[in-house]
Structures are given as C-alpha cells and as structure tokens.
Amino acid sequence: MNETVKVSRKQPHKTFSPTYKSCHCVAKFNIKHYKMLDYEGNLLVTNIPEIANNKQQLIKLYQAMVSTRLFDKKATLLQRRGQLGTYASSLGQEAIGATIGCLMHDEDVLFNYYREYAAQFMRGVKMSEILLYWGGNEQGMNFQKARHDFPICVPIASQVPQAVGAAYAMQLRKQQRVAVCVLGDGATSKGDFYEAINAAGIWNLPIVFVINNNRWAISLPQDKQTHAQTLAQKAIAAGIAGEQVDGNDIIALYCRLKKAIEKARSADGATIIEALTYRLCDHTTADDASHYRNQQEVQENWLFEPINRLKCYLIKQGYWSETDEEKLYIQSQEEVEIAVKEYLNTPAQKPESMFDYLYETLPDTLVEQRYSVMVKEPK
Amino acid sequence: MADVTMLDAINMGLRTEMSADSSVVLLGQDIGINGGVFRATAGLQNTFGKQRVIDTPLSETLIAGMSIGMAAEGLKPVAEIQFMGFIYATFDQIINHASRLRNRTRGRLTCPLVLRAPFGGGIHAPEHHSESTEALFAHIPGLRVVIPSSPSRAYGLLLAAIRDPDPVIFLEPKRIYRMVKQQVQDNAEALPLDVCFVLTEGNDVTLVSWGAMIHETLAAAEQLATNGINAEVIDVATIKPLDMNTILESVAKTGHCVIIHEAAKTCGVGAEIAAQLAELGLMSLFAPVERVTGFDTVMPLFKLEQNYMPSVARIIAAVTRSLKDA
C-alpha cells in the first residue's frame, strides 16, 4: 500500500531566481486512490491491515451500518406517512459515517452536514434526536451526548469554516483533539470550502475533511459539478494532503481515516479524504431522482454498496453467520422502533420556547412578543 | 488620563480585555504586524502573539465561520472585517449560524463573538468603502448591533460586546475614528448594551441618531439652542435590540421627533423607530415624525458624498418643519 505522497513544492518567490530557465516545473502532484476490499468481500492487498483481522471492531462497524440503514428506512416511511418532515437519507453511504464515528474520540468535534447519521449515532446522538430534528423540533439538536458536536448543517459547506475555527481553538489551547468535518461533493464547489481548506493548510490545523462523494448533488452529477478529475486534488491548492478512498470499502476507509486523524492529532496537519460512494436514495424525501437519473445506474451501484460487501468479508473470515445476521436485524429494528416511540411521544415545545434560546437573557423588547404567544391556561 | 481618539479607545479596550481574559482572540486581515488598516489593533500582536492576534488570509467567509467554531469551543473571538462593504460575504455565517446557534441547539452551543467593521462615509474612500447598511443586521433575530459615537462609548461598549454571551455586530463609524479626542479612563468598565444614551436634555424636540451622525445632530442642537429651541439628543448606540422606552419617554416630553441616520431611508432603522412611535407614542406627537437620512440611492463616489450625507442644515430644516405649528 502506498503512503500519502508529500506535496512537493517550491516557494513562489523562487520563481524569480536568475538561475531558472524560461520554462520549468515548479510543482508536481499526484492523487492516490485506495481500495482494499472488492465488492464480493475479497481483500485486494497482501499487506493485511490490522483492522481486517479485528473481528470485534469490524462487527461494531457492521452493526452501525445496519442499524443506520434500518433507521433510514423507517424515517423515510414516517415521512411518507406524514409523521416526519422532509428527511435526507444516507442509503448506500453508511460506511463513511460508521468509520468516522468509530475513529473519533469522544472529545473530538464532528461537523456533519446532514447525511452522516451513522457517525452521530456512534458518538452517542440518539436516533430519537435525529427524528425530532427532521420532525420539526429544535430539541433534536440539543444532543444529550456529543455535547460539543455541531448540529446538522443545512446550508451547504457553511460548516467547513466553522470546523476550521474549532480546530484553531484546539490548537491554541494545545489540546490533543481533532475536528472532523464531513461535506458532500456539491460542497466542494463552494467558496466556503476553499477558504476553509486554505486556512487549514496555513495553520497546520488538527482537522480532517471527509468528502462524501455520492456522485450527485441533488440533480447535478459530478462531471457537471467540476472539471477536476478528483475532488481530493482540491487539497493540492490548499497545500494539504488529499486522497481518494473507495467509500463503500470500510476497510480502506478505516485505514486511511485512522491515519488522517492520527496525523491531525499529532500536529502533522490537515487531510482531505474523498470517499467515493453512491447515493442509492433520492436527495431527500422531497426529491424524485427519476427526473434526472437513470434507474439503471442506480441498480448497477447496488452491487457495490458497503453493507453487503462487509458482510461477505465477515462471513468469509468466519466472523459472522446468518444467525448473527438475523439477531442483529431483530435487535436493530427494535432499537429503531424504541426511538420512533420516543420521538412520537415527545411533547411539542411550548410556543414561547421560540424566544427562550435567542439570547442568554431575553431582551426587554421581546417580553411582550413572547407573552403574546403563550398559551394561557383556561380559568 | 490622556485625550484619546476612538481608534485609541478601541485599541485600549481590546488590549484591556485580552489581558484580562485569555480566551479573547482577534482575527482579521492585516490586523497583526500591520495593526489593521486603520491601526485599531496596532501593537496587539506584539503583546499577545501571533496565535491570539491572527492574520487571516483574505477570506471574509472564513473569518466569520471560524469565529463561530471558536466561540462554540469557548473562545471569545473578536473578528475584524476591513470595511463594511466586504461584510456581505459573512451573511451566510452570521445569519444562518451565528445568530441562531444557541436557538437551534436549544442552548447547548453558544456564539459569543464580536464582528467589528468600520462603516459609513465621509473620508473620501474608494467605492464600496462608505456605505451604512446596519439595518441589514438589525433585521436579524439573535444578533446585537452596536454602534459607538464617541471614544468613551467605543471603549465601554466594546468591552460590553466582548463580554456579551451572544453575537454582536460592532460597527465603527470611521469618519469619527480620529475626529474627536476625549478623556477615556482605562478602567475595564463596560457600558450597558441595549440602552440608548441621552446626550443632551431638552423639552422642545427629540433628535434620535447614532454613529457619526451624532456629531451633526449635536451641532444642530447647538445651533437650535441659540434660537431658543432645546433639543434632546439621543444616541441609540444599540440599534438591535432597540431601546424604545428612552425614545418614547423623550417624545412624551417634547412631542416632536426627528430621526437622523446616514443609511438609506427605506427600511432603515429610522423606519422601525418611526413605526414604533406610531404604534406606541402617537398620542404624544404634535407633528409627524421627520427622518433625515441618506437617500435611496447607491452611495455616490466621494465627489458627491457630501450631497448624500445628512447635514446640519438638513437636520435644522427638519426640526423647523416639525415645530412650525408648535
């Protein structure tokens, strides 16, 4: 397995050196793609990574992916029944979240956009909290665990500069913490992203940017999003490490993300990991991808999805059986149902709550407005 | 105690608060070794180091976004946007995130940041350097918008802004950065936010203003006094949330109100004050509320900027109109 190639560069001011020829190369780059597990669950590498033999950890990742998929299915169903608002599914992309959640330390900070539920669940965010959020209740983002993690971020790429700020604070205070920021492929076209990765390079910040490249930004496929060959190469412009990983291959993802997080934690700088996956679902429940996407393409990509791939590997290794599988699905389904009950039984917030978290202390000017929405007890 | 300019007072306030509180950090473009294009942060990097006085790349969105991440992580970032004309790149961060982080996490994460920016016309600056668009921020729930009008208020309000647990947009009227000197005691004492300051008392007319226009307003009040008209001058200072009580009390006494601001008239903060006077103080008014403001035009380049900005003469004319039947 190749190590990340160090970016070779020459300082710009040397461009004016009298010894230089009229035309010469001042910088060279390449981007590596990492893949270790094929879609039938065969290891492609001879130098076996530690995780490939770590039964316990692999099962933990597998469980996280399965329960996230069942959660997704249920959430989508709730939306169709009118019991949930618009919901963004992570179908087919569960490996990315599971790996992030598994590798981050509790004290690290996650900046998620709105798909990496598996990461959030592994960090202690409750399924019922995610349901509350999409169900229109702000309490959903008041995570009872993972208290430092940022809430789901809807305006695309706006979480990226925030993650840089958190990483700066960690570095300033000499903490051994890391910020992990997840974004989609569409986000890499935004200025926020460029401004943020550029700064992460300048200050050598303890941060990892994970791009969930699910190939579709609502209706826009990657070749219409950018003319760049990869999204990982955008790291080059920022002077940070960048690489592409098969995002449905949890073993490759685990190895590369572990390395990137350790690198960040040991003050060795930022990394962009472009995780190649495929959005097997619509953009959200408000979307109908059949308007713009060939159904055959979706069918073909089911072959490469991450859960079955890991299951094949686990079975080949003798780590997993159909009995285990059955048990896991029953348990996970139960977990989801409990969360749904909890969500549906959570009372709506009082109307005046919309005033109660605007400022630490409610300004006098808002007292009357607040009073006007209060539900008066009948006498 | 020496006489200091508003810039000196801001610098003094930053230095005092950075000394007292190690979580205060400054970030912005050219604020470090250069001390800021107006010198507001001069010498601070020398004292507090490059890690706490951060020269950022030329990225306004980053500056605002970073400040949010820092604030949620327990720092108190004081970010400088070099000119208000470049603040619009921060809107997504300020409106979608800074103003509502507390609300959308139900108090789990908070955002005690200060975003400083010089604003307003009158210094013959290039295009995009002279606008007064404070109303854009005043419209946003969850923000505080604070505008000082003198060195001592700049010092005291800046300390209050940094200590405030919520995001504050701190707009500095650059025309008066060096115009007035005043004794300012470096006593680490903050002034209250969310309240107006009554600068001169009077019974005949209420003049409501903020920022650099306070100086034209005070000059007008002085001229009016020579004609026996006693104006009460109110410096709003915190335009969001708006302290209407002080204004209403004054209008209850005078019965006449003239609002003066440099920003364009339509949907300016003056419109909000006038609307609230109509809602809550109509019976106190003997004449319609007058507004003396910038025009609803693009801020002209500097050859015409004096024609755009409210003048003492325009203020006096408005007061005269208001009092004509009194």
Q: Would you give the distance in Å from CA A283 to the centre of its chain?
A: 15
Q: Which of B106, B110, B248 should we substitute to test contact with A (largest number of A Cβ atoms within 10 Å)?
A: B106
Chain A positions touching B75 (Cβ under 8 A) are 169, 172
| Closest residue of chain B to A349, computed from CA coordinates | B106
Per-residue confidence at A3, pLDDT binned at 50, 70, 90? Answer: very low
What token pair was written down for B104? 């959308």
Q: What is the rounded distance in angstroms from the CA atom of residue A142 to the CA atom of residue B102?
A: 10
Closest alpha carbon within chain A to B75:
A169
Q: Is B242 on the interface with A (CB under 8 A)?
A: yes
Of A161, A172, A364, Cβ closest to residue B65: A161
Give the nearest partner residue to B66 out of A109, A141, A168, using CB atoms: A168
Interface test with chain B among A177, A203, A359, by most B beta carbons within 10 Å: A359
Does the beta carbon of B52 lie under 8 angstroms from any beta carbon of chain A? yes
Cα separation, B151 vs B209, whole angstroms = 17
Establish if B62 touches chain A: CB-CB under 8 angstroms.
Answer: yes
Which residues of B are tagged catalytic? 129
Is residue B121 predicted with pLDDT exceeding 80? yes
Whole-angstrom CA distances from A213 to A151, A235, A254 are 21, 15, 16
* Cis preceding-peptide flag for B241 (omega within 30 of 0): yes
Question: Residue A13 has what pLDDT?
Answer: 55
Residue A299 and residue A297: Cα distance in Å, rounded? 5
Cβ contact, residue pair B74, A169, below 8 Å: yes
In this model, does residue A374 exceed pLDDT 70? yes
Q: Scanning the structure block, which residue is given the tokens 């996650």?
A: A110
Please determine, for residue A339, whether its predicted confidence score (pLDDT) is greater than 90: yes
Q: Judged by CB atoms within 8 Å, which residues 265-294 of B form the interface with A?
A: none
Q: Which residues pair with B206 in a beta bridge?
A: B232, B257
Q: Is pLDDT above 90 for B97? A: yes
Chain A residues whose beta carbon lies within 8 Å of the beta carbon of residue B144: 359
Q: Measured on CA atoms in the order B311, B314, B318, B324, is the torsion positive or negative?
A: positive
Nearest CA in chain B to A151: B105
What does the pLDDT average to over B270-282? Answer: 98
Whether residue A65 has pLDDT greater than 80: yes
Q: How confident is the model at residue A189 (pLDDT cuts 50, 70, 90)?
A: very high
CATH number for the region B197-323 comes to: 3.40.50.920
Looking at chain A, the whole-number percentage of residues with pLDDT higher than 70 is 94
- What is the distance in angstroms between the Cα of B26 and the nearest Cα belonging to chain A? 12
**Could you say which of A20, A292, A357, A371 is catalytic?**
A292
Q: Residues B101-119: what's their mean pLDDT?
A: 98
Question: B143 with B98: CB under 8 angstroms?
Answer: yes
- Here the tokens at position B57 are 């790349």
A279 part of the active site: yes
Q: Please, are residues B173 and B27 in contact by the beta-carbon 8 Å criterion?
A: no
Q: In sequence order, what E strands does B142-228 have?
A: 144-146, 168-173, 182-183, 197-200, 205-209
CA–CA separation, B246 and B236 (whole Å): 9
Which positions in chain A have a beta carbon within 8 angstroms of at least one beta carbon in chain B? 109, 111, 138-139, 141-143, 147-148, 150-151, 154-155, 158, 160-170, 172, 179, 191-192, 195-196, 198-199, 202, 353-354, 357-360, 363-366
Give chain A's mean pLDDT.
94
Q: What is the pTM of this model?
A: 0.96
Interface residue of B78, B105, B166, B168 to substitute, partner A, most A CBs within 10 Å: B105
Q: In this predicted model, what pLDDT tens digit does every residue of A134-176 receive, in sequence order?
A: 999 999 999 999 999 999 999 999 999 999 999 999 999 999 9
Mutual orientation of helices A55-80 and A127-134 as an angle, nearest 10°? 30
- Residue A331: count other Cβ atoms within 10 Å of its Cβ: 14
**The predicted structure's pLDDT at residue A325:** 98
- For residue A2, pLDDT over 70 is answered with no
Closest residue to A192, CB basis, from B61, B71, B75: B61
Read off the pLDDT of each residue in A192-205 and give the average, rounded to a whole number: 98
What average pLDDT does the segment B232-245 reach?
98
User: What would the pLDDT profile of A131-145 be if each residue is shown by its tens digit?
Assistant: 999 999 999 999 999
Residue A1 banded pLDDT, cuts 50, 70, 90: very low
- Nearest CB to A158: which of B59, B97, B108? B97
With beta carbons under 8 A apart, name residues in chain A contacting B106: 138-139, 141-142, 353, 357
In B, which residues are within 8 Å of A150 by CB distance?
Answer: 72, 109
**Is A63 in contact with A328 (CB distance < 8 Å)?**
yes
Give the class (CATH, top level) of A30-369.
alpha beta
Sheet bearing A179-184, strands edge to edge = A33-34, A241-246, A271-276, A207-213, A179-184, A109-111
Residues 6 or more apart whose CB falls under 8 angstroms from that of A68 comprise A90, A94, A97, A98, A117, A118, A121
Residues on chain B touching A158 (C-beta within 8 angstroms): 65, 92-93, 96-97
User: What gap in Å lies between CA B71 and CA B183, rounded to an integer?
Assistant: 32
> H or E stretch including B223?
helix B213-226
Q: ipTM of this predicted complex?
A: 0.96
> Is the per-residue pLDDT at B206 higher than 90?
yes
Rounded Cα–Cα distance for residues B144 and B152 (Å): 19
Residue pLDDT, tens place only, A8-52: 454 555 556 666 667 889 999 999 999 999 999 999 999 999 999
Q: Provide the 3-class DSSP secondary structure of residue B209.
A: strand
What's the average model confidence in pLDDT over B262-269?
A: 98
Residue of B nearest to A356 (CA): B103
pLDDT in tens, A312-329: 999 999 999 999 999 999
Question: Averaged over A362-366, what is the pLDDT?
Answer: 95
Assigned superfamily of B3-183: Thiamin diphosphate (ThDP)-binding fold, Pyr/PP domains (3.40.50.970)
Q: How far apart are CA A89 and CA A87, in angstroms?
A: 6
Q: Measure B281 CA to nearest chain A CA, in Å.
A: 15
Question: Which of the residues A177, A279, A313, A319 is marked catalytic?
Answer: A279
pLDDT for res B58: 98
> Of A292-306, A364-378, B32-46, B145-159, which gets the smallest average pLDDT?
A364-378
